[in-house]
Structure 1
Amino acid sequence: MTDCETPQAPRLLDGIRVLSFCHYLQGPAAAQYLADMGADVIKVEPKNGAFERHWSGANTYVDDVSAFFVSANRNKRSVALDLKHKDTRRVLDRLVASADVIIENYRPGVMERLGLGYEAVKAIRPDIIYASATGFGADGPLRDKPGQDLLVQARSGLMASTGSTPTVTGCAAVDQHGAALLAMGISAACFAKLSTGKGTRIEGSLFNAGIDMQMEALTLYYTGERSRERFARDPHLGTWFHEAPYGVYQLSDAFIVISLNPVAKIAEALDSDRLRGMASLDAYAERDRIAAALSEVLAPLDFATVAARFDPLAIWYEKVNDYDDLRVDPQAIYNGIFTTIPVAGGEATIVNHPLKYDGAVPSVRRLPPKIGEHGQEILAELGFSPEEIDRLFSDGALALSNPS
């Protein structure tokens, strides 16, 4: 297939303008989903840049560019403003008037203090779709409490239920799920606006996202009137609510996970009389005994041996990959889930948009922007003259990465 024959993903949100007043991960990632789908996302950030430009986990930078920033800010344009400057109001009013969507994840009350709360924005653009993401909610007893992924993992019960002792997930799972939920709500509101002509007020929170991630587990727990003692289990078992052997086991050369499989079937595959003797047990009530026995049977075996025994019986299992394994996983490569982009004087490997549209993954149309990189073109689109733009820059209301 030649380059010109390579399928291109349709820009489903083409023509939709989104103003993103976002920092950290939940808001920027939500805006990036929309940008990937074709929306014109304008990142409105302070003159010194959003938070995620200035921090990166494991001190990972390409030159001075944060890999954290790179992960969630592709396909966007940047305009950098002093939101408290007296002359910025004219820019903000025109930006709002031009927008279909505003998305923000500041603490409750911040946008109101900036004159950008829902009511103020609606007075300028009555059909605005206004999406807010907070830590715990716009109102309520935890309204002003800082919301961050780890804190929400703890408060939502996710940590308590994940391991035999409280266990943190290996990524910012709540942030990412919250971002996907917010993008889902905005996409639905855009669709509704086509038929009704009306905007929508959308409110999301990390706390609700952390709970939503556990809908199956929480429904089982509360409906079954369980108690917290139910979380205690053999450390090999993956959850508190699945029957054995559901969990992770160590082999002589690797770790594997084994999903929902009849104990009798595993006993046959491993030719284990010990496991055959447990085949008639209730696999949930006796899950600890079964998991402990299975771990001992598997321990001396290597992965190739186990795979050769499991595959003919269609047993559900998988080798536990680390990130080095994942980078060369043939399915990850086939799915095109990773791509490498140029950043500053080097390059970064990023995770692509997770969906395909008409057989294609949305492309990286714009690299993560420099601070204020598109300020001149955006203000020109809003009708500001070159002289007005120069004045806003010289007076300190606007920051530009490449001033003329």
Structure 2
Amino acid sequence: MGVLSGYRVLDCSIAMAGPFAAMRLGDLGADVVKVEPLNGEWQRHVSAGGAKGNKINVSFLSLNRNKRSLAVDLKSEGGKAVLANLVKHADVFLQNYRPGVAKRLGVDYETLSALNPKLVYVSMSGYGETGPYVDRPGQDLLLQGLSGAMLSAGRDGEAPTPAGQFLVDAVTAYTAFEGVLAALLHRERTGEGQLVEVNMLDAITTLQMQELSVFTVAGKPQQRSAEPHAHAYIRSPYGTFATADGYIIVAFPALKTLGTVIGEPSFLAMDDERDAWALRDQVFAITRERLLSKTSAEWLKLMGDAGIWCGPVYGYADLVVDAQIKHNGTFVEYDHPTEGRVKTPGFAIRFSKTPSTVARGAPLAGEHTTDVLREAGYDDRRIAELMAQGAVAGPQP
């Protein structure tokens, strides 16, 4: 039994941030019902990275395990009535519609909280529910650019480099997940539900609490340098360096120690805090040239023995077979009726008494419509009527 067993979540979200947050709740044992259109969420049918599943897009598989699917038309009267009935017995309602859409569908906080005052209602948006950017598209890369984060790394004068993952979506999902847990704790203490609002802009901004405080409190400008430092506010050398056969990471070593290891006498007379800032590009460039002389394995051994913080640069093929990843059980696997054996990152938090589990893989569209409606009090005759009306749908062929 997971720590959230007994809680019912209605997941009306799409794309990444909302489904990811809801999946984390499911990993902890919550009964997550994915409320999606009759033909399923759009992400079932589009490819990510050019990779399609046999029947279902792999992005959908990765973000929707431990959920049941209810296929319902929320624009129909029958569909609206079904959702309203489910809300009365739900604990959490999660949506990331564009601002104003929930109101038009009749699933806004005011409407649903009137049906269930104990409901924890989570509304996710790109920039906030109101304000000058309310109509802008809340897309990850757009938010990365707006956040300022891209100018904390790389060379001055070169194009800003975005993160190699959907960073804003992911941190927004984690923020919403935390918000649900906090609101449920409040409800346990008071019996009171509430509205929880999470937006991508605030999530990625607050993630940069250290960097932005260095700017706002200490007044230090966010200045990139001529060499490709990995962070504008970290002293040199700090970044990715080519070797004779690949790349390694080196993270702000003591210059005297580094100078000894790489055979650079000028570093022996340098001060870490003074010279590693004032001569940041020079230190980086010298280190870059010196590291070309040996292989990655050789440098990692030499630096590791000297106590220098260093490490390899992995691709995914390296990551999935890494000894620590295997030891941690970072990835989970399950069998899926259309996609076969699915391997995907699991839940990162370990609980000693209420561990996360994969009770089911990503559902087929409408796979659990009948089960969910029966639990809500609908008999088979009424379910058949709703299906005939097109208000709900069962599994798609």
| Interval of TM-score (by shorter of Structure 1 and Structure 2) | over 0.9
Q: Does 1:29 align with 2:37?
A: no
User: Aligned partner of 2:328: which letter?
Assistant: N
Of stretches 159-168 and 78-87 in structure 1, the one that deviates more from structure 2 is 159-168
Q: Does 1:380 align with 2:367?
A: no
Number of residues paired by the alignment?
A: 392
Q: Which runs of 4+ in 1 moved over 4 A?
A: none
The one of 299, 303, 307 equivalent to 2:300 is: 307
Q: Does 1:193 align with 2:191?
A: no
TM-score where L is the length of structure 2: 0.95
Q: Does 1:285 align with 2:301?
A: no
Structure 2 unmatched ranges of 5 or more? none
Tell me, what secondary structure is at the counterpart of 1:299?
helix
**Aligned residues of 1:246 and 1:259 also touching (Cα < 8 A):** yes
**CA 1:385–1:120: 2 relative to 1, 3 Å:** same
Structure 1 residue aligned with 2:310: 317
Tell me, what secondary structure is at the counterpart of 1:102?
strand
Q: How far 1:277 moved relative to its partner? A: 4.3
Q: How far 1:191 moved relative to its partner? A: 1.1
What is the root-mean-square deviation of aligned Cα atoms in Å? 1.6
User: Aligned partner of 1:267: which letter?
Assistant: G
Structure 2 residue aligned with 1:175: 169
Structure 1 unmatched ranges of 5 or more? 1-9
Aligned ranges 1:306-345 → 2 under 5 Å: 306-343=299-336, 344-345=338-339
Q: How far 1:359 moved relative to its partner? A: 7.9
Structure 2 residue aligned with 1:298: 291
**CA 1:100–1:219: 2 relative to 1, 3 Å:** same
The CA distance in 1 between the partners of 2:47 and 2:26, in whole Å, is 22
Structure 1 residue aligned with 2:60: 69
Tell me, what secondary structure is at the counterpart of 2:276?
coil
User: Aligned partner of 2:41: which letter?
Assistant: A
Tell me, what secondary structure is at the counterpart of 2:32?
strand
Q: Does 1:225 align with 2:219?
A: yes
Structure 2 residue aligned with 1:5: none
Q: Does 1:275 align with 2:258?
A: no
1:347-403 Cα shifts (integer Å, max 9, x gaps): 332110111111885221011000011000110001001000000001110110079
Amino-acid identity (%): 35
User: Aligned partner of 1:210: which letter?
Assistant: I
**Aligned residues of 2:154 and 2:227 also touching (Cα < 8 A):** no
TM-score where L is the length of structure 1: 0.93
Structure 1 residue aligned with 2:340: 346
User: Aligned partner of 1:191: which letter?
Assistant: L
Of stretches 163-172 and 394-403 in structure 1, the one that deviates more from structure 2 is 394-403
Aligned ranges 1:88-127 → 2 under 5 Å: 88-127=79-118
Q: How far 1:178 moved relative to its partner? A: 0.4
Tell me, what secondary structure is at the counterpart of 1:59?
coil
User: Aligned partner of 1:269: which letter?
Assistant: V
User: Aligned partner of 1:234: which letter?
Assistant: E
User: Aligned partner of 2:323: which letter?
Assistant: P
Structure 2 residue aligned with 1:4: none
1:2-52 Cα shifts (integer Å, max 9, x gaps): xxxxxxxx5111111111110000000000011101111111011111122
The one of 213, 225, 243 equivalent to 1:251 is: 243
**Aligned residues of 2:140 and 2:166 also touching (Cα < 8 A):** yes
**Aligned residues of 2:225 and 2:281 also touching (Cα < 8 A):** no
**CA 1:361–1:100: 2 relative to 1, 3 Å:** closer
The one of 111, 115, 119 equivalent to 1:128 is: 119
User: Aligned partner of 2:251: which letter?
Assistant: S
1:135-176 Cα shifts (integer Å, max 9, x gaps): 110011001111010110111112232322301111101101
Structure 2 residue aligned with 1:7: none
Tell me, what secondary structure is at the counterpart of 1:62?
coil
User: Aligned partner of 1:216: which letter?
Assistant: Q
The CA distance in 1 between the partners of 2:68 and 2:31, in whole Å, is 8
**Aligned residues of 1:30 and 1:183 also touching (Cα < 8 A):** yes
Of stretches 146-155 and 352-361 in structure 1, the one that deviates more from structure 2 is 352-361
